[in-house]
Chains A and B, each alone.
Chain A
Amino acid sequence: EAGVAQSPRYKIIEKRQSVAFWCNPISGHATLYWYQQILGQGPKLLIQFQNNGVVDDSQLPKDRFSAERLKGVDSTLKIQPAKLEDSAVYLCASSLRDAGGYTFGSGTRLTVV
């Protein structure tokens, strides 16, 4: 079974620029999550999709972050404009109801300078 695919692996941008991350979940997994992990902290949920509908985006900074999940499969997370404090690893995860817990992708490490 292929895992959760994410790209790019690394990205360095200047503040006020925009950036986009892509995620392809495990085939058949209806639920997809984007987490932000700042160095030294645990992951924090940004947004949760069920198929292509948003279940929870209460911690997504909507003035600069946006996310979509087209056709209930791939997802894109965008930041525009980026701030220094957005430097973090952005993790995508997907889950299958009976699996218990979910599987993370390898993440995208974003550095804003």
Chain B
Amino acid sequence: QKEVEQNSGPLSVPEGAIASLNCTYSDRGSQSFFWYRQYSGKSPELIMFIYSNGDKEDGRFTAQLNKASQYVSLLIRDSQPSDSATYLCAVTATTDSWGKLQFGAGTQVVVTP
């Protein structure tokens, strides 16, 4: 069974600090990596995707990928109370968006004022 593992949390982060979320995956054939944010009672919302080793920045979010170590991480800088949500890591074995996504169980982030 190919797995995607995340710490369930909750990860408590002071407002203005950096939240660091980690995700490991077991399928070495994984090619594309996604981070979704899910507010309580809502559907997942795509915030970042990354295909290549290294860092990718988008606003306050940075995704980091290390295929050799089979992990992907998400940094949230200047955390705001509105960032309080569950963050889902997802991977797919294909290089395009048509492949099925394997999701982790998510990490709950709580940003405290």
Classify chain B's interface size.
20 to 34
Find out whether the CB atom of B97 lies under 8 angstroms from the CB atom of A99.
yes
User: How many residues of chain A get a CB closer than 8 Å to chain B's CBs?
Assistant: 27
User: Could you tell me if B96 and A44 are in contact, using CB atoms closer than 8 angstroms?
Assistant: no
Name the segment of B13-21, B38-46, B66-74 touching the other chain.
B38-46
Partner of A45, one of B46, B49, B100: B100
* A107-B38 Cα distance, complex, nearest whole Å: 12
Decide yes or no: A104 and B45 within 8 Å by CB, A41-B105, A42-B88, A43-B103 being known contacts: yes
Known: A42-B105, A43-B103. A95 touches B97 (CB 8 A): yes
A45 vs B98: C-alpha distance in the bound complex, in angstroms?
13
- Is the beta-carbon distance between A97 and B97 smaller than 8 angstroms? yes
A42-B4, A42-B88, A42-B106 known; A107 vs B43 contact (CB < 8 Å): yes
